[in-house]
Structure formats: C-alpha cells, structure tokens
Structure 1
Amino acid sequence: MDHISQRICRGDLAPGEKLPSVRTMAVEAGVNPNTVSRTYMELEREKIVESRRGQGTFVTEEKQVIEKLRKSQAAVQADRFKSSMEQLGIDKETAFQLLNNTWDGNGGSS
C-alpha cells in the first residue's frame, strides 16, 4: 500500500491512470495476488483509487484526496526522521541543520 501511495504522490501514477492488474502487480511486487487485491480494496476504501467494473482500477482524479495522501505520507516520513534523530541523540537544531545541508546538496556534514 505504501509503495502504491508513494508512486501516486510522486506522480509516477497520474490521476486517472489505470493501475496494473492484480496479477501484474503481484508479479512486480513478488507477493501473492490476494495481497494486491486486499491492497487495492483498502486504497479504494480510502478513495485513493476507484474500481470501474470491467475496466480495472484507476487512481482517483480528486486532487484533494491526492494532496491529503501526500501530506499524510510526508508526516509519516517526518516522524521517522524525528525518531531517528532522537535515537542518535541529535537535537532539533542540529537535525534541521543537517536536513538543510542535505536539501541544498551540501551533504549531511557541516
């Protein structure tokens, strides 16, 4: 589910784009087709994708849904970053400095 969500957030899967079939996605991901089927159902429940009878599963065209997904994914990543910095004993100011240096292409070191 995270993999598909990230592809949607990055724009690799555009709004309205058809997702690969359950079988194709299962082969690509190396998982059981039932896992992919359940993932598609969960994504549909969250309105991130929609099933069209006889046509397949498509990424929602609702921009608000995609933006909400993007913000949710970003919040998860931010939380992971914060937890990692805390585990390393790095304070907020130093973590921000490292992040800014990395973002600017200067690497993590000062």
Structure 2
Amino acid sequence: MVRPQALMIQIATGDPRPIGKQIVDAVRMKIATGELKPGNQLPSVRGLAQQLTINPNTVAKAYAELTTEGWLESRQGMGLYVAEPRQRLSDAERERRLDDAVGRFINDVIPLGFPPDEVQARIAHEFQQLVPRKRA
C-alpha cells in the first residue's frame, strides 16, 4: 500500500492571501517544481488540517480547487493523488495570468530602486533553483 506523501507546507499568518489560497499555491508549486510527482498520494483532509492546525473545511476547499483545476485526482476510497501533467489552462488564460503576475511584480519592485540587471539576475537565479531539471 502506497503511503501519502508528506506535504511540507507552512501557513504564514501575516500573508494577505487566505489560508486556502496559500495551500493551493504551495501544492501547485510543489507539483510544478517536481517535488510532488504524478501518482504521489497527498495527506487526507483531516491529516493536513491537523498538521497545519487549521479547519478541515479549509483544506477540503483547497483540495477541491486543485482537483477541479486538474492538479489532483481523486481515487474513490483511496484518497487524492497528483494527476498526470496536462495543460490545465488555455494559452490565452496562461498569457493573461503571466501579464497580471508581471504587472504586480513590477509595481512591487520598481519603487525599491534596484537596477533592472540586478532584478533580472535574481529572477534568473530563482528560476534555476525552482524549475525542475529536464532529464535525458
């Protein structure tokens, strides 16, 4: 029997995002970076709620959103698993989200006064740390 993958995420009380959104974002990032792989089982709603000391309904809603978006799949009587990769959003929606994220980023970073080359170098470094390596 396959054991659920430990879901090492933290909830930040000072984060302006709701707790459910923090869970959704953390799981998406773990899947996108390859930390969670297709077929990995996630902790139960109750198990993750106890781990994070939050209401189980919050975890259930986050898991439901991830399932609806195609990041997770429910297996009847067995739990939730990371779904096989597929394009989850249309190209137009992906472009819209990228534009929104870049706009928010620029609005946050420009007032800090860093030179563009330093900002670009930091972004490149972070991508190198997060993006899963392609294996031959």
Q: Which residue of 1 aligns with 2:112?
A: 88
Distance (whole Å) between structure 1 residues aligned to residue 30 and residue 53 of structure 2: 17
Opposite residue 65 of structure 1, the aligned amino acid is R
Alpha carbons of structure 1 residues 101 and 42: separation in structure 2 relative to 1, 3 Å: closer
Aligned pairs for 1:43-62 (under 5 A) are 43-62=66-85
SS, match of residue 84 in structure 2: coil
Alpha carbons of structure 1 residues 79 and 9: separation in structure 2 relative to 1, 3 Å: farther
Q: How far has the Cα of 1:65 moved from its partner?
A: 3.2
Distance (whole Å) between structure 2 residues aligned to residue 81 and residue 87 of structure 1: 11
Matched, 1:40 2:60: no
Distance (whole Å) between structure 1 residues aligned to residue 51 and residue 106 of structure 2: 32
Q: Percent identity?
A: 34
Q: How far has the Cα of 1:104 moved from its partner?
A: 5.6
Q: Which residue of 2 aligns with 1:5?
A: 28
- How much is the aligned-residue C-alpha RMSD, in angstroms? 2.9
Opposite residue 44 of structure 1, the aligned amino acid is T
Computing the radius of gyration over CA atoms, which structure comes out larger, 1 or 2? Answer: 1
**Structure with greater proportional helix content:** 1
Distance (whole Å) between structure 2 residues aligned to residue 29 and residue 78 of structure 1: 30
Gap runs ≥5 in structure 2: 1-23, 127-136
Q: Which residue of 2 aligns with 1:16?
A: 39
Opposite residue 61 of structure 1, the aligned amino acid is E
Q: How far has the Cα of 1:78 moved from its partner?
A: 3.6
Q: How far has the Cα of 1:30 moved from its partner?
A: 2.7
* Equivalent residue pairs, number: 97
Distance (whole Å) between structure 2 residues aligned to residue 47 and residue 26 of structure 1: 22
TM-score, length basis structure 2: 0.57
Q: How far has the Cα of 1:88 moved from its partner?
A: 3.0
Gap runs ≥5 in structure 1: 106-110
Distance (whole Å) between structure 2 residues aligned to residue 79 and residue 38 of structure 1: 28
